[in-house]
Amino acid sequence: MKQKLVVIGAGMASGRVLEHLREQAPDQYDITLFNAEPRGNYNRIMLSPVLSGEKTYEEIVTHDDDWYAQNEITCRFGEHVVGIDRHSRTVTGQNGAVSYDKLLIATGSAPFIIPVPGKDLPGVIAYRDLDDTNAMVEASAKGGKAVVIGGGLLGLEAAAGLALRGMEVTVLHLMGHLMERQLDEAAGYLLKKDLEDRGITVMTKAATKAILGEDRVEAVLLEDGTVLDADLVVMAVGIRPETRLATDAHLEVARGIEVNAQMMTSDPDVLAVGECVELDGQLFGLVAPLYDQAKVVAATLTGEEAAFVPKELSTKLKVTGCDLFSAGDFAEGEGREDVVFRDPSRGVYKRLVIEGDRLVGAVMYGDTADSNWFFGLIKDGTDISDMRETLIFGPAYQGGGQADPLSAVAALPPEAEICGCNGICKGQIVQAIEGGAIDLGAVKATTKASASCGTCTGLVEQLLQVTLGDGFEMPTAQPVCGCTDLSHEDVRRLIKSQELKSQEAVWQELGWKTVNGCHTCRPAVNFYLLADWPLDYTDDPQSRFVNERNHANIQKDGTYSVMPRMWGGMTTPQELVAIAQAAEKYGATVKVTGGQRIDLLGVRKEDLPAIWADLNRAGMVSGHAYTKGLRTVKTCVGSDWCRFGTQDSTGLGIKLEKRLWGSWTPHKVKLGVSGCPRNCAEATCKDIGIVCVDSGYQIGVGGAAGMDVKEVERLVDVATEEEAIEWTVAFVQLYRENGKYLDRAYKWLAKVGLDWVQEVLADPAERAALVDRFDLSQSVYQTDPWAERARPDVAQGFQPLADFTLEAAE
């Protein structure tokens, strides 16, 4: 006879309990899981990256519907629990009661709302769950001003996320410096400076008096009379254990639900886990102890003996670019000594607190590479008297003083904790690696190390390197994919030297392990072949990603976007009329892009040939907004119109675009031409950017404004327009002949070096040869793909092969 287990709350702690239970005793319990949120368990620590847009909700789900189904867990999500009756052993939800033999309370915590007037106004949000996160994302879409009350971990992560989403953010903190429980004043100062560099205003010693507004929040009033305008107020002053159900059920409750080391409450059939519990006067808010508790709960429920022992904790802030770490006790005190290291130019601060022969606390800002080693010393109470002199320089300087970056990890003892979230130590990871987990993915899958917040990924990789030695593939010589052991560079070199001119020749001569490659290598090989042998090799659409095969950008709903070329960003009333008519005819949404063109979104695949034909008739061709090839040439109005313009930047932009369009490149190529150093065309963050000056043209290369933001480096200054065009074309061809597929120009430049590129292009003969080879390739590839595919015989391929829905309707 199965026993009945009811779990209240689907958070990270109870999620881990369920995993352990189903692993250790799959058939012992019938499980019912209540959750007030209308969804299952997700990685709550990762809400900050969701808020900042670096991750999506889907990426942080830890247990999906399938998991609950496979593990036969009855889910009552979106249903609040009304009460617990310990006499009849029932839990009553909004939709009815269920009886239990064992009950697990995992209600987590509730945000603390400071009791000021206006706290209930619309626009005041606490930061606790996905709904709060979504509400903030939605509010930030309108831009405007946000005030975050609370300068602790949660508040700062919220502030950074909202700032990334474009809001003007002010953080109010009651105490004298940020994160006062985890940081000392010096580190708090550096953190404040970092945040201010990101445009976030930080006000310390700021006490909120009231939140003002009529129908919704409009401003925040401080005790000192300051009024701050606010479209959004986030309250992140702290959390308190959610104990209401336990209190109503007459369980013993102090600040949290009181439990013993077996995680039992005052009623032995009722257990509690997570942020809602209190043990020996201590509360728990970080994930590592919650996972330890989860193990104990599972053991208690299956009749095993186990006891939860709180461990020393460390803190990290998940704001990209802010490296901070703190652990142990760093208050000043009698018999305590400080060792401090500062490097103002790098913004680095390290402080160790030593008591007797032991390290008792550490605070680090700006460089936290050695934090795990220090944390180990604190936890283990290691005698540090022998290394006291050099302690602050980290493990690399202990004994011998080599600067091998791996020595720090190599020196860690097996029980050193690597993954704080999951409590995984070095020994377990090394064991997994020795057992065959020879890459990051495999280590994640077998040990869960680096599978939660991910800040230990670098350490895990170093462990792979230390453990496997030469057996660990250095990232520099990564093979293209699983189909070959050769790197991209090797494949390119062999295609040229062995004159391989077809895909079959590549597969055969280079010993490919698969019949005809895969989605990773085939597009790369297709590009290398057409770039090196434009006359001998024919481009293969079936080796291209969908966008390049269909010559339109696929959208998330399966429709496409269509973008005609606008040479140098210039258009005419006639073109605009044709675009407007096409948008109406095919039901497209119209969007003006950052590349000075007009995008038509939501076009069905079946309609693509027809809309292309319509646009062709008005004289427009494909804008190649979907290719690893030339995209746009952005220009300003230049000397034609602008009172500052020094040269005809628009004219040069159009000439460049007419010369380069249709060419395939390792990754997309965007150009900009500005008519004067005011740089209205933002040329200095393009793959190739030309800035016109009185004396001629400054050509910069290797800029970017995407995942990375980079300013161009100066390739050359030339006097005439002809030279500017020649250098640009030669540069593009050099990139086409040497770049690794999917490396933007700046990444390629970082590998070969600007010096090398300048040296090659400085030779007039070499430059001319490159231009010749580019023009030869253009003689094949500079054709409008839309016109070719709008022809009736080809257009047929865009329709379904057969359509039984029509037959059935007849």
Is residue 609 near another protein by the rule CB under 8 A?
A: no
SS3 119: coil
Can residue 511 be called a binding residue for another protein (CB under 8 A)?
no
Angle at 278 between CA 277 and CA 283, to 5 degrees: 95
Q: Write the CA distances from 355 to 339, 382, 394, 417, integer angstroms.
A: 11, 12, 18, 23
The reply on whether position 808 binds another protein by CB under 8 A is yes
Closest CA to 427 of 457, 407, 408, 449: 449
Q: Binding site annotation covers 680?
A: yes
Q: How many residues bind another protein (CB under 8 A)?
A: 29
| Residue 519 or 643 with smaller CB distance to another protein | 519
Please state, in angstroms and as integers, the Cα–Cα distance from residue 684 to each residue in 162, 467, 546, 670, 762, following that order.
Answer: 27, 44, 31, 11, 22
The full DSSP string for 380-432 is: HT-B-GGGTTTGGG-GGGSSS----TTHHHHHS-TT-EEETTTTEEHHHHHHH
Q: Round to whole Å and give the CA distance between 26 and 71.
A: 8
Position 508 contacts another protein (CB under 8 A)? no
CB of 652 to another protein, least distance (A): 37
CB of 805 to another protein, least distance (A): 5
Q: Which residue has the tokens 């740089």?
A: 679
Coil vs helix vs strand at 498:
coil
User: Where in 192-221 is the site for another protein (CB under 8 A)?
Assistant: none
Given candidates 556, 643, 709, 810, which one binds another protein under the rule CB under 8 A? Answer: 556
The correct pick among 523, 534, 651, 703 for binding another protein (CB under 8 A) is 523
Nearest approach, Cβ of residue 804 and another protein (Å): 5
> Using the rule CB under 8 A, is 69 a contact of another protein?
no
Among 4, 209, 549, 714, binds another protein (CB under 8 A): 549
Classify the phi-psi angles of 129: left when phi > 0, otherwise alpha if psi is within -120 to 50, otherwise beta. beta
How far apart are CB 60 and another protein at their closest, in Å?
16
Question: Shortest CA distance to 309 belongs to which of 245, 374, 260, 272?
Answer: 260
Going by C-alpha positions, the residue among 586, 688, 705 that lies closest to residue 633 is: 688
Separation of alpha carbons 412 and 425, rounded Å: 10
Rounded Cα–Cα distance for residues 596 and 603 (Å) = 20
Considering beta carbons, is residue 709 or 808 the nearer one to another protein?
Answer: 808
Smallest separation, CB 800 to another protein (Å) = 4
Residue 342 structure tokens? 């500062």
Q: 346, exposed or middle or buried, with CB in 10 Å at 0-12, 13-18, 19+?
A: exposed
Sole window of 265-273, 396-404, 552-560, 745-753 interacting with another protein (rule: CB under 8 A): 552-560
Give kind and range of the element (H or E) at residue 752: helix 745-752
Is 692 a known ligand-binding residue? no
Of 208-216, 368-376, 472-480, 545-553, which segment contacts another protein by CB under 8 A? 545-553
Contact window for another protein (CB under 8 A) among 288-296, 354-362, 390-398, 551-559: 551-559
Q: According to CB under 8 A, which one of 541, 602, 677, 696 is a site residue for another protein? A: 541
456 assigned ligand-binding residue:
no
478, two tokens: 């990564």
Shortest Cβ distance from residue 238 to another protein (Å)? Answer: 38
Kindly state the smallest distance separating residue 546's Cβ from another protein, in Å. 4
Cα→Cα distances 549→307, 520, 727, Å: 60, 15, 31
DSSP states of 296-308 as a string? HHHHHHTT-----
Under DSSP, is residue 750 helix (H, G, I), strand (E, B) or coil? Answer: helix
Tally the C-alpha atoms within 13 A of residue 794's C-alpha that lie toward its C-beta.
15
Instruction: Out of 227, 546, 719, 776, point to the residue binding another protein (CB under 8 A).
Output: 546
Residues 788-807 that bind another protein (CB under 8 A): 797, 800-805
Contact between 519 and another protein per CB under 8 A: yes
56 lies in the binding site for another protein (CB under 8 A): no
The interface mask with another protein, positions 389-428, x = CB under 8 A, is ----------------------------------------
Among 71, 266, 516, 778, the residue binding another protein under the rule CB under 8 A is 516
Check residue 641 for interaction with another protein (CB under 8 A).
no
Among 558, 573, 764, 792, binds another protein (CB under 8 A): 558
The 3-state DSSP class for residue 733 equals: helix
- Could you say whether residue 554 binds another protein (CB under 8 A)? yes
Query: To the nearest whole angstrom, how small is the minimum distance from the Cβ of residue 610 to another protein?
Result: 17
Residue 323 CA, chain-centre distance (Å), reads: 16
Q: Stretches 227-235, 548-556, 582-590, 765-773: which one binds another protein (CB under 8 A)?
A: 548-556
Sites for another protein among residues 435-454 (CB under 8 A): 441, 445
Q: Are 115 and 282 in contact (CB under 8 A)?
A: no
Query: Which contiguous run of DSSP H or E holds residue 234?
Result: strand 232-235
Q: Which is nearer to another protein, 390 or 547 (CB)?
A: 547
Q: Token pair of 488, please? A: 């991209």
Q: Closest CB to another protein among 64 and 79?
A: 64
From residue 482, give the alpha-carbon distance in Å to each of 486, 544, 736, 744.
10, 18, 24, 23
Phi-psi label, residue 348: left if phi above 0, alpha if psi -120 to 50, beta otherwise? beta
The residue within the footprint of another protein, chosen from 515, 592, 707, 709 (CB under 8 A), is 515
The smaller minimum CB distance to another protein, of residues 523 and 785, is found at 523
Contacts of another protein in 335-364 (CB under 8 A): none
> Structure tokens of 518?
């895969």
Taking CB under 8 A as the rule, does residue 479 contact another protein? no
In the list 182, 208, 326, 550, the residue contacting another protein (rule: CB under 8 A) is: 550
Q: Which is nearer to another protein, 515 or 709 (CB)?
A: 515
Contact window for another protein (CB under 8 A) among 292-300, 550-558, 582-590, 596-604: 550-558
Minimum distance from residue 763 beta carbon to another protein (Å) = 40
Of the candidate spans 241-249, 547-555, 579-587, 638-646, the one that interacts with another protein by CB under 8 A turns out to be 547-555
Q: Any known ligand binding at 276?
A: no
Q: What residues are designated binding site? A: 636, 642, 676, 680
Q: What residues are designated binding site for siroheme? A: 680
Given the rule CB under 8 A, which residues bind another protein?
A: 441, 445, 514-519, 522-523, 541-546, 549-550, 554, 556, 558, 797, 800-805, 808
Q: What residues are designated binding site for [4Fe-4S] cluster? A: 636, 642, 676, 680
